[in-house]
Chain A
Amino acid sequence: MFTIDQYAYTNRLRVIHPGEKMAFALITLLIALIAPNLVIPAIIIFLMAGITIGVARIPVRFYLKLFLVPFSFLIAGIAMIALIITTQSLAVTKGITFLGWTIGVTPASIQLAGKIFCKSLGAVSCLYFLSLTTPMTEIISVLRKLHVPALLVDLISLNYRFIFVLLSTVDDIYTAQASRLGYVSLRTSYYSLGHLAVNLFIKTYKRSRELFVALTSRGYNEELKFLEVNYPFSWLFLFLAAGLDLALISLTIISWR
């Protein structure tokens, strides 16, 4: 979490207009989702990984580790899709038959599973590109420019800020407990963890009151106003991104026929 955020602020593509990066990531994501076969999503995975690692200079090891997060969910999910349980022993089914029930796979189910696997990872690679190259503050500012309802954007931006406040509060309480042997055994761990949760709730509540007071004293009037920063447009990035997406779209159209 912290590391993703740090890379978002320090990567080599930071200077590119956030709107361009968002458009590129989302359009590519859409292509990955509507593509009829698994080749196009597979190309997208390599493309996005290539840009994120090669151009934005996100370390390979960190990037691969990040990919492992959805991987385990994905494996469990597609295993269920690939496996078929049936009473009709079809010729194409490869599997074990037991008491008239066959559990196994068919070429069609494997292909479907493969397609979903590639599409999911393709989509993930697009989102990782966005979250590793674009700071949340800039994404929020693009959302605001796109006239996403102010209430929603305010909530997103406050949430983003408070994730860090909350995490540091958790960290402080945990350290204070651990230094007094609060996590020395399983029993004390449960006890301490319970108190941490309660305390966190109280502290968060107190903090939100303090924040409200501080905002009021600076003239808060039920709307968080922000100064919009103008980011320079990068024609080169726009041109390359559009080119790549157009190529992917043509590939998609060709494979539909």
Chain B
Amino acid sequence: MAAILEAKAVKFTYPDGTQALKGVTLDIPEGKKIAVLGSNGAGKSTLFLHFNGILRPQEGDIYFAGTKLSYNHNALKKLRQHVGIVFQDPDSMLFSASVLQEISFGPLNLGLDRGQVLSRVQKAMEATGITNLKDKPTHFLSYGQKKRVAIASVLAMEPEVIIFDEPTAYLDPKSIKEIIALLETINQQDKTIVLSTHDVDIAYSWADYTYVLAQGQVIGKGKPEEVFQNASLLETADLTRPWILDVYEGLKKKGWLPVTAPVPKNKAELLELIPCKSN
């Protein structure tokens, strides 16, 4: 699978001296669901800002679709058209008091005409389930609703890659479920999704591929089944093991599951593995 986004030996230090990225090399395969894990301050958000051309690596390079990013006006415009970021705090994204105008901002910047913009806005609102909020001012919305508006505002630009910075933070369980389902739908439309999270259970069940960041470096990568069985890696990254794997290992140890049992990806698969009680 070709990589749509790549970071090669990217180093970045903030003006206050914080070394956020210390030579990060990773690639985002096209059409996949990628989870980037790491504790607070691991460098996830900084990396994401590089993928959108907001920050420029002090050393190293960013590649989009195989081409090195050149940071001139047109290259940045193209990159931002193809790579969208949904930031963690929706309040920092929403600048307009009108939901409709907020969502139309991105597509209008792409230079589309009014009709196309309207149909994209409509589609994005349907996908995120906020059509009923169209005439509401953004300051009357709840946190979860604002989050959806923020997602819709990026969806309406129809990027190929969408980066979600902690999309499930501060949300209630029902909203988390809905957001994850939405991510699934977006991915099925051949879009690449990158998401950062602390929630190991979500990352484990959802992702196709995982990167683990710690202190500005990639310290682990691989399929979630591999990454989350590596106890020392999880320890270094301050992460815990998903409960599904805990239960799976426990059942194996107590003889309820054969040693050769396949590793379950989610709750349904785990329940499927557990044999019926035989008398």
**A227 with B100: CB separation less than 8 A:** yes
Number of A residues, CB within 8 Å of B: 31
**B97 with A136: CB separation less than 8 A:** yes
The docked-state distance in angstroms from the alpha carbon of A227 to that of B81 is 18
A51 contacts chain B at the CB level, 8 A cutoff: no
A9 contacts chain B at the CB level, 8 A cutoff: yes
A23 contacts chain B at the CB level, 8 A cutoff: no
* Neighbouring B residues of A221 by C-beta, 8 Å: 109
Q: Looking at chain B's contact residues, is the secondary structure mostly helix, strand, loop, or mixed?
A: helix
Least distance between A226 CB and chain B CB atoms (Å): 5
The residue from B77, B92, B96 contacting A219, defined by CB atoms under 8 A apart: B77
The docked-state distance in angstroms from the alpha carbon of A210 to that of B94 is 10
Q: Which of B110-118, B123-131, B180-188, B231-239 contacts A (4 or more CB under 8 A)?
A: B110-118
The residue from A137, A215, A227 contacting B95, defined by CB atoms under 8 A apart: A215
Number of B residues, CB within 8 Å of A: 39
Q: A210-B87, A226-B101 are in contact. Are A161 and B96 (CB under 8 A)?
A: yes
Q: A157-B97, A214-B93, A227-B104 are in contact. Are A219 and B54 (CB under 8 A)?
A: no
Contact sample, A vs B, 22 pairs, CB 8 Å cutoff: A5-B137, A5-B139, A6-B140, A9-B137, A157-B96, A157-B97, A161-B138, A168-B139, A210-B87, A213-B54, A213-B87, A213-B92, A214-B93, A215-B95, A217-B52, A217-B85, A217-B87, A218-B105, A219-B106, A225-B109, A227-B104, A227-B121
* Neighbouring B residues of A215 by C-beta, 8 Å: 95, 105
**B49 with A213: CB separation less than 8 A:** yes
* Neighbouring A residues of B117 by C-beta, 8 Å: 227
Known: A168-B139, A215-B105, A218-B153. 18 other contacts (CB 8 A): A5-B137, A9-B137, A157-B96, A157-B97, A210-B87, A211-B93, A211-B95, A217-B84, A218-B105, A218-B106, A218-B154, A219-B109, A219-B110, A220-B105, A225-B105, A227-B101, A227-B114, A227-B118
The docked-state distance in angstroms from the alpha carbon of A220 to that of B100 is 17
**A218 with B80: CB separation less than 8 A:** yes
* Neighbouring A residues of B85 by C-beta, 8 Å: 214, 217
The docked-state distance in angstroms from the alpha carbon of A211 to that of B94 is 8
**A224 with B92: CB separation less than 8 A:** no
B127-156 contact mask (Cβ, 8 Å, vs A): 1 or 0: 000000001111110000000000001100
* Neighbouring A residues of B89 by C-beta, 8 Å: 210
B9 contacts chain A at the CB level, 8 A cutoff: no
**A158 with B104: CB separation less than 8 A:** no
B157 contacts chain A at the CB level, 8 A cutoff: yes
Q: Looking at chain A's contact residues, is the secondary structure mostly helix, strand, loop, or mixed?
A: helix
The docked-state distance in angstroms from the alpha carbon of A46 to that of B178 is 51
The docked-state distance in angstroms from the alpha carbon of A112 to that of B224 is 82
Interface residues of A (CB under 8 A from B): 5-6, 9, 135-137, 157-158, 160-161, 164-165, 168, 207, 210-211, 213-221, 224-229
**A224 with B121: CB separation less than 8 A:** no
* Neighbouring B residues of A216 by C-beta, 8 Å: 54, 80
Name the residue among B52, B96, B138 with the largest chain A CB count within 10 angstroms.
B96
List 9 tightest A-B contacts by C-beta distance, closest first: A219-B109, A227-B104, A210-B92, A164-B139, A225-B108, A218-B106, A137-B98, A214-B93, A217-B52
Interface residues of B (CB under 8 A from A): 49, 52, 54, 77, 80-81, 84-85, 87, 89, 91-98, 100-101, 104-106, 108-110, 114, 117-118, 121, 135-140, 153-154, 157
* Neighbouring B residues of A5 by C-beta, 8 Å: 137, 139
Q: Nearest B residue to A2 by beta-carbon distance?
A: B139
Q: A136-B97, A219-B77, A224-B105 are in contact. Are A214 and B92 (CB under 8 A)?
A: yes
Name the residue among B54, B97, B121, B157 with the largest chain A CB count within 10 angstroms.
B97
* Neighbouring A residues of B92 by C-beta, 8 Å: 207, 210-211, 213-214
Least distance between B68 CB and chain A CB atoms (Å): 20
Q: Nearest B residue to A163 by beta-carbon distance?
A: B139
Least distance between A3 CB and chain B CB atoms (Å): 12
**A137 with B104: CB separation less than 8 A:** no
